[in-house]
A and B are shown apart, each in its own frame.
Chain A
Amino acid sequence: MKAALELDGVTIRYGGVQALANASLEVAPGRVLGLIGPNGAGKTTLINATTGIVPLSAGRVRLGGATISGMAPHRIARAGISRTYQNIRLFGALDVFANLSAGAFARPGRLDAAHAQALLERAGIRHLKLDARAGALPYGDQRRLEIARALAAEPAILMLDEPAAGMNPTETAHLVDTIRAIAASGIGVLLIEHDMSLVRAACDNVVVLNFGEVIATGTPDEIVADPAVIEAYLGTESV
């Protein structure tokens, strides 16, 4: 299922705080869009807005041309948007197979073992046992299991919220391959990351957020050289 994700002037205001201001971007099928910005810039808010967890104050979100903003979160998920979470949200007490079945919940029929194995393969964790308890897995495997779970839904769009957090350089390099392979299968990927090497290696384009506003878009090379971006990052303590 190929469809582009478009955010059009998305604005989120709550409690007097402007979390997102007039944010517009597009995630095209088969392409990887990076979303970067200092902490608190609104990146996770943007994902939450897209998945329907947070209501929009203004603007629109479209998938394949159809408006999805305003729909209930579970409907948006069924429409073809899957995500991973900044703080891992696996179903920890359930086993690997149950987590993958959960991911495939919205798809007709049930997940079988072969299909589950294929998902683990795509996420780079083929060594995992289907009956292993998800919460007991090593951290890196858990992150990848979350990706596998998201893939189980056969989404049009996959949003990854800091999937490399806590990974070492070798693991991060493997993650690049995983992400590019996912995009190559036709899925549009939105990647939130702090790790610039991952962003440069995995992303076709990058959007930079600061204080809820898009301050730059372009290829990784372009935005790294963009003065507005440099100033935004130098103006804060951490990247």
Chain B
Amino acid sequence: MNVLADFYAAHSKLIDQVGIDALLALSLSISLQAGQLALAQAAFMGVAAYISAILALDAHWSLLPAMLVAALCSTIVAGLLALPVRRLRGIFLAIATIAFGEIVRIVANNLTISGGAEGLSGIPADATTPWIYGTLVVVSIALWLFSRTKFALAIALVREDENAARGVGVDVGLVRFTTLAIGGTIAGLAGALYAHSNFFITPADFGFGRMEQILVWCVIGGITSPLGAAIGAALLTILPEAIRFLADYRDFVNGAILLVVVLFAPQGLAGIRFGKRG
């Protein structure tokens, strides 16, 4: 037991990081499963991070209510985004959501309530490991239950062939809206946890760099498999630490892994592990 305790003590920051990254990867994987490259997860994360931080700092809310309200807000934001982009597909959807993400970041950068470019600090660090992994477990179970519903089939149909999906009675618009909203919720939970485990947050934490990272996790883990996405996140978060001795070459390895996966195993790691089909 002491070995475990020591291991945890030495690596608790990393362990927490992995948990939050896994949540972020899960949040994007839902949209990807519907065939939507909606790249606004970092923005949803940011909205929730700021709201839960403000609730904690200014109104002294404890973690759970702050997290829930923050995730509700990010869900609403996701729903609001879904409306104007409902006719966009492919690259157009991707860059529209990127633009949205930048606007959110700039707003946070300019408002006093969000602390401007310096962000907010002194956030109570009550998102301990049990909270993070508890959330991850709850979300994972919810997603697993969800994957057994008809709606989950509808998501796959929308991904495979939107028009044929309509032809069998699937409300494609509703599917796209819902997947974006659910992604917003999960990213929001991750954002609140992030704020409450990092002491301070700045707008730069939620920009395109973060978004690219989340996308990379999903790709490496397996785009259409939530489990794969979580694995991808875990691996790529741990990997840089595990190969710390490679120091300067960490990013290089990250990029190389991404390339290798894209070029040789586009299903991602989950594809390799569990055979074919997402």
Query: Which positions in A face B, CB cutoff 8 Å?
Result: 51, 53, 72-75, 77-78, 82-83, 85, 89-94, 98, 101-103, 105-106, 110, 133, 149, 153
Residue of B nearest to A81 (CB): B167
A102 to B171, CA, bound (A): 13
Q: Please encode chain B, from 148 to 176, with 1 for each CB lying within 8 Å of some chain A CB and 0 for all others.
A: 00100110110011011111111110000
A103 touches B168 (CB 8 A): yes
Closest-by-CB residue of A relative to B174 is A74
Residues of A near B153 (CB, < 8 A) are 98, 101-102, 105
What is the minimal beta-carbon distance from A5 to any residue of chain B, in angstroms?
A: 16
Contact of A105 among B169, B277, B278 (CB under 8 A): B169
Q: Is the CB of A77 within 8 A of B169?
A: yes
| B163 near A74: Cβ-Cβ < 8 Å | no
Bound-state CA distance A106–B153 (Å) is 12
Q: B-side interface residues toward A, CB under 8 Å?
A: 150, 153-154, 156-157, 160-161, 163-172, 277-278
Contact indicator B164/A89 (Cβ below 8 Å): yes
Asked if A78 and B169 make an inter-chain contact with CB atoms under 8 angstroms apart, the answer reads: yes
Q: Are B156 and A98 in contact (CB under 8 A)?
A: yes
A105 touches B170 (CB 8 A): yes
Residues in B with CB closer than 8 Å to A102 are 153, 157, 165, 168
CA–CA, A53 and B164, complex, Å: 11
Label chain B's interface by main secondary structure: helix
CA A91 to CA B171, docked complex, whole Å: 16
- Could you tell me if A153 and B168 are in contact, using CB atoms closer than 8 angstroms? yes
Which residue of the partner chain B has the closest CB to A77?
B169
> A90 CA to B165 CA in the complex, in Å?
10
Q: Are A110 and B150 in contact (CB under 8 A)?
A: yes
Number of A-B pairs, beta carbon distance below 8 Å: 62
Minimum CB–CB distance for B178 against chain A, Å: 14
Q: Which of B163, B168, B172, B278 meets A106, CB within 8 Å?
A: B168
Q: Once the chains are docked, how many angstroms separate the CA of A71 from the CA of B72?
A: 33
Evaluate contact between A105 and B163: CB separation under 8 angstroms.
no
B172 surroundings in chain A (CB, below 8 A): 74
Determine if B168 and A77 form an interchain contact, defined as CB atoms under 8 angstroms apart.
yes
Chain B residues closer than 8 Å to A74, beta-carbon distance: 165-166, 169-172
Kindly list chain B residues whose C-beta atoms are within 8 Å of the C-beta of A51. Answer: 167
Closest to A92 in B: B160
Contact B150 A85 (CB under 8 A): no
Most A CB within 10 A of own CB, among B154, B164, B170: B164
Which chain B residues lie closer than 8 Å to A98 at the CB level?
153, 156
Contacting residues, chain B, for A78 (C-beta < 8 A): 169
Task: Specify the chain B residue showing the minimal Cβ separation from A73.
Answer: B166
- Residue in A72, A73, A105 whose CB lies within 8 Å of B150: A105
Query: A51 to B169, alpha carbons, bound, how many Å?
Result: 11
**Chain A residues with CB below 8 A from B154, complex form:** 105
Complex: A73 Cα to B173 Cα, angstroms = 11
Question: Is A82 a contact of B167 with CB atoms below 8 Å?
Answer: yes
Cβ contacts A to B, 15 pairs, < 8 Å: A53-B166, A72-B166, A74-B165, A74-B169, A77-B166, A77-B167, A82-B168, A89-B161, A91-B156, A93-B160, A101-B153, A102-B168, A105-B157, A105-B170, A153-B169
Within the assembled complex, what's the spacing in Å between the Cα atoms of A53 and B169?
Answer: 13
Q: Which residues of A contact B277 (CB under 8 A)?
A: 93, 133
**A46, chain B: closest CB distance, angstroms:** 15
Distance A90 CA – B150 CA, assembled complex (angstroms): 18
* Residues of chain A contacted by B150 (CB below 8 angstroms): 105, 110
Report chain B residues within 8 Å CB of A101: 153
Contact for A53 among B163, B165, B278, CB less than 8 A: B163
Give chain A residues whose Cβ lies under 8 Å from the Cβ of B166.
53, 72-74, 77
Nearest neighbor of A89 in chain B, beta-carbon distance: B164
**Bound Cα distance A20, B153 (Å):** 35
B176 to chain A, nearest CB (A): 13
- Given A77-B167, A89-B161, A93-B160, 20 further pairs, Cβ under 8 A: A53-B166, A73-B163, A74-B165, A74-B169, A74-B170, A74-B171, A77-B166, A77-B169, A78-B169, A90-B164, A91-B156, A91-B164, A93-B277, A93-B278, A98-B153, A102-B168, A105-B157, A106-B169, A133-B277, A153-B169
